[in-house]
Amino acid sequence: MARDSDSTDMGGGSAGGVRGFLAYWGPPVAIGLVVGLGMVWAWRSLAIGRTDVDEIVARWEWGADDANAALEDEIAALGPSARGDVLEAFRNVDGDYPDLKVWVAQRLTEEPFFDNKSLAEEARGDDRWDRRTAAVALALRLREEADPDVVMPGILDWLNDLATDDHELAVMAVAAVGPLPPDWESRVREALVRLARRRDPVSGDAADDWSPEDRDIVIQQGLANLLRDAAVPAQDVLDVLYEIMTDEEDDYAPRVAAVRVLSEKKQFERFDAWKAAAASSNDVVRQAVADNLFRTQDRAFGEILKPMHRDPHSLVRSGSLDTQILRRQPTMLDVIDQLLEDHDVWVRFAAAEAVAVFKDAPGAPQRAAMLVRLLEESDEPVDAEGAILALSAITGDVFGFREIDVHPQMEEVEESALDAFMKDPEGRAEAAAKYRTKLGGVVFTREDRIAVLEKLLEHPDPENRARAERLLAELR
């Protein structure tokens, strides 16, 4: 009967069973939790079990190059005996921090360890991020001497991973290794082309999307490198660059990167694509086109650049002026009067340079007279600087300054001389009078200026319209 009673208490009474379990196992579990938490606290707070290398690695900061260089010296100072600790620290860095893992791996490749062998083993290992980062560190260290069969599997695995938006180190590693055997080169090219294309945010949150910046790097360092090494540019690389450059739904960063790479590689055959990019609704993309078309001497591109002289954004206007000056195409002369009255001082500076460069084109005296007015009347030092540089180039004379203070090749005037000139209204008037005489007496009158400002009332840039309204109210 006692046996039956015991059996009933153990199996049929649930409350008794729980009480029995807690009574038997509760104290050991509680003690284990306390001990475990204590060990974690001690490891974190007292550094128990952490090596000197761990302590140094814990102080690494992303982007703090000078501070991190000092940490490199600290690790090296530990001597060859710390090699095992460095290798263990590399393995312990979480894969969410690939920059740090590569940095620690690179310590193994350098003095006093020179341990490429351990990294080669890691590059062949099973852990995904250990394999990738070890391969990258080896490639960055050995460069052309790296064995593609050792480093490329890990690097290519990283490049093919669309679940991350950080591929910079893998792209850098490919460039470091240099020209690859055809089988590896084709696989890398396919991966880079895939990475360059527009893709959904990794996190699913557009506000936290780093893929445009990642694609910028892939384009400027990865695809550009492929075009450099190829005897004949790969058509799929060119196709994706033109696709990105003209994609109005895309972020500006990869589009600007595509513009730069195509320009740097002298790829101007697809005129319509360049024309479409020049008409983009994005100011930054239009500026990139204006800034980068200087590398082609094809006069047909003047058709693209000429409308940019009246672009709604001042940086596009100044970029188009600089480019056409370099291309020696005077497409801006039709609107030079408006450019010399632009609200943006650097547009006016570029316009002054254009007047000097095209000094032999019809209408030169009147344009020079506009520069004389700036020299004499403008409150902006940059206006006076641009005017004196241009007028000295046009006439061969420097009035109001010493010749040694004017530096045409550097496109600048000594700051102290410019400051003194701006504070000397009588000296400015005297210099202006001398230039007018030199130019045959041509004067840019008040009525002439009103006529130009009235044109600016219809300008696409609202700041130009506002400035024109204000100045016209003062002049009338």
Beta bridge partners of 406: 413
Residue 268: is its pLDDT beyond 80?
Answer: yes
- Residues 237-253 have a mean pLDDT of 97
According to the per-residue pLDDT averaged within each range, which of 65-79, 198-212, 220-234 is highest?
Answer: 65-79
What are the C-alpha distances in Å from 4 to residues 14, 16, 18, 234, 303?
A: 16, 15, 19, 86, 103
Inform me whether the pLDDT recorded for 2 exceeds 50.
no
Contacts of 454 (CB under 8 A, 6+ apart): 468, 472
Between 106-115, 175-184, 246-255, 410-419, the lowest mean confidence (pLDDT) is in 175-184
Nearest Cα residue to 240 out of 256, 219, 220, 226: 219
pLDDT greater at residue 311 or residue 47: 311
pTM of the model: 0.84
Location of structure tokens 């291309």: 327
pLDDT tens for each residue of 30-47: 444 444 444 434 444 445
What is the model's pLDDT at position 204?
74
pLDDT at position 39: 40
Mean pLDDT within 338-364: 98
String of DSSP letters for 202-225 = SSS-GGG--HHHHHHHIIIIIIHH
380 within 8 A of 346, measured Cβ to Cβ: no
Residue 445: pLDDT above 80? Answer: yes
CA dihedral 79→84→86→89, nearest 10 degrees, is -150
Query: Does position 216 have pLDDT exceeding 70, yes or no?
Result: yes
* pLDDT over 90 at 218, yes or no: yes
Q: Say how far apart CA 244 and CA 262 lie, in whole Å.
A: 11
What pLDDT shows up at residue 48?
57
Whether the pLDDT of residue 66 is over 90: the answer is yes
Average pLDDT, the chain: 90
The answer, yes or no, to whether residue 267 has pLDDT greater than 90, is: yes
Q: What is the mean pLDDT of residues 392-414?
A: 96
pLDDT at site 44: 43
Residue pLDDT, tens place only, 137-149:
999 999 999 999 9
- In the predicted model, is pLDDT for residue 217 greater than 50? yes
Q: Tell whether the model's pLDDT for residue 19 goes beyond 70.
A: no
What gap in Å lies between CA 454 and CA 381, rounded to an integer? Answer: 25
Answer whether the bond into residue 112 is a cis peptide, omega within 30°.
Answer: yes
Report, as an integer, the average pLDDT of 206-210. Answer: 79
Residue 14 confidence (pLDDT) above 90: no
Average pLDDT over residues 340-363: 98
Position 197 scores a pLDDT of: 96
